[in-house]
Structures are given as C-alpha cells and as structure tokens.
Amino acid sequence: MGLNRGDPRWVRSPVFEVAELDGDRAWVDFELATKVTGVNVFFSRDAVSWPERGWKEAPAILSG
C-alpha cells in the first residue's frame, strides 16, 4: 500500500535534501503545502538488505 499504509492520516513524505547529522541528532529541512501536526522517524541500524532490516520508530520534534 505504499508509504501511506492505506491510512488517509498518513501523508507522503516530501523529497528531502541531505539530512544533517550531529552526534545522535539528525534533521532535515523541507517545505510542504499540507499542515504538519506530528512527526515520527523510522530508522534501522541494520546493515542487511532493506526487507530484512529491523525498523524502529521514534517521536521527532517539529520546529519552524
């Protein structure tokens, strides 16, 4: 079902430029016409093929 998982509350992510990294912090700048009310980040530290990775979800901070 793609990124929106069939749920209309999910919005397709905008195309991001290069993510900025500083220690255990990461951020990206983006513009989106839709109002964003909450964000989560999905990540994996696994170095195996995409479908075999163990994905984790964490809350993110929206600013700006």
Q: Which range among 16-20, 31-35, 58-62 shows the weakest confidence by mean pLDDT?
A: 16-20
pLDDT computed for residue 6 by the predictor: 57
pLDDT computed for residue 12 by the predictor: 59
Which pTM was predicted? 0.54
pLDDT at 5 over 80: no
What span, in angstroms and rounded, lies between the C-alpha atoms of 62 and 44? 21
* pLDDT tens per residue across span 31-44: 777 787 888 888 88
What span, in angstroms and rounded, lies between the C-alpha atoms of 8 and 28? 24
* pLDDT tens per residue across span 49-59: 988 999 998 88
